[in-house]
Chain A
Amino acid sequence: MRLFFLPDRFVLMAVFTLTALLAAFAFGPYPLSPGDVLRALRAGPWAENDTAVVVWNLRLPRIAAGFLIGAALSAAGAAYQGMFRNPLVSPDILGVSAGAGLGAALAILMGFSLLWVQGLAFCGGLLAVGTVYFVAGLVRRHDPVLVLVLAGVAVGTLFSAGISLAKVLADPSVQLPSITFWLLGGLNAVTTGDLALAAPLVVAGLLPMLLLRWRVNLLSLSDEEAAALGVNVSRLRATLIVCATLMTAAAVAVAGIVGWVGLVVPHAARLLVGPEFSRLLPAVLLLGGGFVIAADTLARSATAIELPLGILTALVGAPVFLVLLARSGRTT
């Protein structure tokens, strides 16, 4: 008897993510054989040797964070692409990355502690999107979606200018590299403590999205049509923005700015399972998580010195995106 139906495509994605997960455990700068990793995993996190520390305290939180961040950014991207009816939208369309970047840059400039850097990054992200939403709410006579995008571009630019100003004011040999590295993104400093802070926020953003997954589809209709079907469009839109912002800001606060994930993964997932949001959402969670785990494994094992994750996701993401773009151009 079959308890539940698992379509083949989901099996494929699960296999991809699982492979990425296993590879992430197996590879890294600390030389460990797969046998060592298995033994350490079996022995539990309390063993007092370097292998246990590498596997349980260093690789496991990193892999978990990679999955969390990939899933969060991809889900936020998928929700936004549906909501803005635009396939070119990424989670930072409303300025969340620029806001978070400014928060972090200011914290580094002031010489604050790590927790403050993360906290201010998170608050900066929320502040940027809050400003966009507030400004867009003041404009009445235009298409609300267009106004949101334009306000997002403007506020994002404003916050980016703030980042540039912070960079100019920063001490070039001490603070400037820290700001630059933060903006490039990376999972190298992730600890279990960071995960404990970010995971609840991501889940808090994801839950409403899961519950509303059927209704999100209706946003692909025009506002009038959706309203005629009994959907309170502006409230649904506001809920989605809050959810996506929570998830993105939490992800960015932990990992810095990791680009392209939220743009590319929803596209790939849509090719695999179609645009229907209740199928798309689990697909992007799986794929996004797997993608970032894979990219991060590459980031920490490809070269002697770690490559920033944001560079790798862009290196992989941009060509994939161009291929997708060329293909969709041909079919329409």
Chain B
Amino acid sequence: MNRRVFLANLAALPWATCFAESTVPRKFFVFGQLPPPGRIRRVFAAGAPAAVLAYVLVPDKLMGWPWPLSDEARALLARGQRDLPMLGRLAGRGSTLPLERLVALKPDLIIDAGTVDETYFSLAERVARETRIPYVLVDGRLADSPRQLRDCGGLLGAAERGERLARFAESTLLSCRDVRPQGRPKVYLARGADGLETPLPGSVNGECIEAACGVNAAPPSGVGGLARVSPEQVLAWAPDVIVTQYPEFHARAREDAFWKRLPAVRNGRLHLVPSQPFGWLDGPPGVNRLIGVRWLASRLHGHDDGIDWVGQARDFHRLFYGHAPEQDQLARLLAGV
């Protein structure tokens, strides 16, 4: 952490000859000169998690989406943000937005949430230096959601709203804290149309399992990230619960002779969770996962009976996305939950 703080300071004050080393581990890093909250009117989100973060905190300041939203997703968003343009993302070589256009868009602030490592530091530092637009890099880990919401709320001039959402995040993340380690079911998170892609323990894509006090069925490999696995492995791991955001896989698993054999599927513990407007478990790995964590925790630890998930989802949409979908929209969304 020290080196990161050092780098962040160095980037923010390239002219400084000495600097005070902060002892408080920070979870967000500023490159360039941060304007006061009242002066920030146009926020550019560098990636999908940051866009969700900015959207839930300051919808009116979000300039556009970094990726093309589907019609289905747009229909579930607040009216003002539904038709925002697709602007592209900043991710070094993977950028889809030229820096020149970024300058032309004249944002007051660039915000990025997600992995915080040397690569993203250098990217943020370079973009801030070349465009002279202040760049805020936020550690996007799910367990840090309350802090993200609070910090960025303060930064963007929505401290009160940030506090409210952070409290929801806190209560969500604490909802299963008393579950003992041996009582934690094994969860297989199936991705892809064939369900054979899965996040490994430690991967940002599988954080919702740990946050909901489950155990990732895939063995720890020390590298994190996503892996392709075979049906034989899934059989050997014997997950107690299978969750997916892919309707095609959900339908297939209920038909296919192999998947039907798995205890999780036999016991009715295969669940399809919503992927729109933002995924409940992943895609993007942002604060949108909080509702998924809340749902998964209650599913895993058996205090699920009688919870009206349509109502819960409506409340979450109203609180975070500023728009309560119609009853039939929600029913469709939650059909497989």
Contacts and interface: CB of A to CB of B under 8 A. Distances in A.
Interface of A: 28-31, 50, 53-54, 57-59, 62, 113-114, 117, 168-169, 171-174, 177-178, 181, 184, 186, 188-189, 300, 303-306, 308
Contacts of A113: 193, 248
Contact of B96 (A29, A59, A168, A173): A168
16 contacts: A29-B233, A30-B236, A53-B235, A57-B257, A58-B232, A58-B258, A171-B67, A173-B48, A173-B284, A177-B226, A178-B193, A300-B232, A305-B200, A305-B219, A305-B221, A305-B229
A50 B257 CA distance: 12
B143 to A, nearest CB: 18
Given A172-B67, A305-B227, 9 more contacts: A30-B232, A50-B235, A58-B232, A181-B228, A188-B229, A303-B221, A305-B218, A305-B221, A306-B229
A30 B237 CA distance: 8
Contacts, number: 96
Given A58-B230, A117-B193, A189-B194, A171 B236 contact: no
Nearest to B237: A29
Contacts of B94: 168, 172
B283 interface: yes
Contacts of A306: 227-230, 233
B27 to A, nearest CB: 21
Contacts of A174: 191, 279, 282-283
A43 to B, nearest CB: 16
- Scoring B221, B226, B248, B285 by chain A CB atoms within 10 A of each residue's CB, the highest score goes to B226
A174 B236 CA distance: 26
A50 B191 CA distance: 23
B192 interface: yes
Given A57-B257, A172-B48, A114 B193 contact: yes
B168 to A, nearest CB: 23
Interface in B251-294: 252, 257-258, 261, 279, 282-285
Contacts of B236: 29-31
Interface string B185-227: 0000001111011001000010000000000001101000011
A59 B228 CA distance: 17
B123 to A, nearest CB: 14
Contacts of A308: 228
Interface of B: 47-48, 67, 89, 91, 94, 96, 191-194, 196-197, 200, 205, 218-219, 221, 226-233, 235-236, 248, 252, 257-258, 261, 279, 282-285
Given A173-B48, A304-B219, A178 B229 contact: no
Contacts of B229: 188, 305-306
B193 A171 contact: no
Contacts of A181: 192, 197, 226, 228
Nearest to A58: B232
A53 B228 contact: no
Contacts of A172: 47-48, 67, 89, 91, 94
A89 B221 CA distance: 37
A245 B230 CA distance: 28
B231 A58 contact: yes
Given A28-B232, A54-B232, A113-B248, A173 B196 contact: no
Contacts of B67: 171-172
Given A186-B228, A306-B227, A306-B228, A173 B283 contact: yes
Contacts of B257: 57
Contacts of B197: 177-178, 181
A168 B90 CA distance: 12
Contacts of B279: 174
A59 B219 contact: no
A174 B48 CA distance: 11
Given A168-B96, A173-B282, A189-B196, A29 B228 contact: no
A300 B230 contact: yes
A308 B227 CA distance: 9
Nearest to B204: A173
A57 B192 CA distance: 21
- Scoring A113, A173, A308 by chain B CB atoms within 10 A of each residue's CB, the highest score goes to A173
A173 B48 CA distance: 9
Contacts of A186: 228
Contacts of B200: 305
- Scoring A114, A117, A308 by chain B CB atoms within 10 A of each residue's CB, the highest score goes to A114
Contacts of B282: 173-174
A29 B233 CA distance: 6
Contacts of B91: 172
A26 to B, nearest CB: 13
A120 B68 CA distance: 23
Contacts of B196: 188-189
Contacts of B194: 114, 189
Contacts of B230: 29, 58, 62, 188-189, 300, 306
A306 B233 CA distance: 9
B140 to A, nearest CB: 11
Contacts of A300: 230, 232-233
Nearest to A59: B232
Contact of B232 (A29, A171, A178): A29
Contacts of B48: 171-173
Nearest to B228: A181
B228 A54 contact: no
Nearest to B227: A305
Given A58-B232, A173-B48, A53 B283 contact: no
A187 to B, nearest CB: 8
A120 B96 CA distance: 26
